Amino acid sequence: MSGTNFKSGQKVRLHDEDNVPYSANNPVPVYVGESETGTEIHDYDEQVVVKDTSEDHDYTVTAGKTLFLNKVLFSASCRMFCELKVETGVGTDTFDIIASGFIKAGGESDAIDFGNRPKRVAAGVKVRVSKYNEDNQDASLYDTIVGLEL
């Protein structure tokens, strides 16, 4: 290879995002997933929420499918607290909180992101994003549920 200076016996080390070398105690992350052929879900919600109250955004997984929940994007024109919940079973209307996030000032945005290890949600089960307006006035709160149904 012209223009390349490879030296015999040269060692190369890979590091993670914290600059820690990969080793037996810090293995290289590997994800083997299912086929990416499915229906992309980008379920958007915008609501004006009264100060010191909350509103819910529900998405019900399509019958016969599994939702691979990748992330929830959220933003607000005010201070906001957001909880991501998954129903404990079809039609139970009882939810487990699986993650939460905060917006400290209006105009910010954030995400709850499961990276390459999406949360699996069964057919007929609801995913709920509860958005809490923590500001001193009514405000618009936004979220988008992002995933893949197979």
pLDDT above 70 for 8: no
Q: Are 120 and 66 in contact (CB under 8 A)?
A: yes
Give the burial string for 117-136 (b: 16+ CB within 10 Å, else e). Answer: ebbebeeebbbbbbbbbbbe
Q: Are 47 and 132 in contact (CB under 8 A)?
A: no
In CATH, the number for domain 39-149 is 2.60.120.680
Tens-place pLDDT, residues 102-136: 999 888 999 999 998 999 999 999 999 999 999 99
| Residue ranges per structural domain of the chain | 39-149
Tens-place pLDDT, residues 26-42: 887 776 555 558 999 99
For 7-36, what is the mean pLDDT? 72
| Residue-level pLDDT at 87 | 98
DSSP string, 83-100: EEEEESSTT---EEEEEE
Query: What is the average pLDDT value for the chain, to the nearest integer?
Result: 89
Cα distance between the two ends of the chain: 45
